[in-house]
Amino acid sequence: MLRDKRMFSRKVVESDAFLDMGASAQNLYFHLALNADDEGFVSAPKKIMRMIGAAEDDLKMLLAKRFILGFESGVVVIKHWLMNNQLRPERIAKSDYEEERGKLYTKINGAYTFDQAQGKPLLSSWRRTDNQLSSSCRQVDAKLTTECGEMYGIKDKTRQDRTRQDKK
């Protein structure tokens, strides 16, 4: 299932390497990411290029600068997907591109790589990172449960109100 919302890490899109590319290559990167599945795979990058009027050189630039990684099947993956988008595991729709996913590894910083020596196997690309909630702390009615909120430094408003009353 394709989600409607995507995020971009400023570490990636404000890096010198990204900003050194032309505006059309940068635009293609954003459109590829907007059309990627929940694991960062894009099945038809050339279709997206035609939709936005990007040149073949823009795709080649993204591949050469390693902002996207390409597969023989024509599928591409956004290299910094896990840095850009952090979704909880239960909200992920697994990619249809299992064969391509099987060739990827994850670096310590969350970037995809083909280099086995630099990363861990990408068996399940959506692992809990330090800034994500664990699956046991689910949101209920857009609020975290009290115990999960306390675990992540979010204070219970009711308890705060009681504390204020006690001090009076």
Question: pLDDT band for position 41 (50/70/90)?
Answer: very high
Q: What is the mean pLDDT of residues 139-161?
A: 48
Whether residues 66 and 120 share a domain: the answer is yes
Whether residue 162 is predicted with pLDDT greater than 60 in this model: the reply is no
Average pLDDT over residues 91-96: 82
What's the pLDDT tens digit per position in 102-138? 899 999 888 999 988 776 776 544 443 444 444 445 4
User: Which residues constitute the domain of residue 117?
Assistant: 10-127
Q: What integer best gives the mean pLDDT of the chain?
A: 79
User: Are 66 and 110 found together in one domain?
Assistant: yes
Q: In the chain, pLDDT over 90 holds for what percent of residues?
A: 48
Do residue 40 and residue 122 come from a single domain?
A: yes
Q: pTM for the whole thing?
A: 0.69
Q: Which long-range CB contacts under 8 A does 51-56 form with residues at least 24 apart? A: 52/27, 52/28, 53/24, 54/24, 54/25, 54/27, 54/28, 55/24
What is the number of domains present in the chain? Answer: 2
Instruction: Give the model's pLDDT for residue 90.
Output: 74
Tell me: do 86 and 106 sit in the same domain: yes
Domain shared by 98 and 142, yes or no: no
Q: How confident is the model at residue 77 (pLDDT cuts 50, 70, 90)?
A: very high
Q: Which pLDDT value is given to residue 3?
A: 60
Whether 5 maps to a domain, the answer reads: no
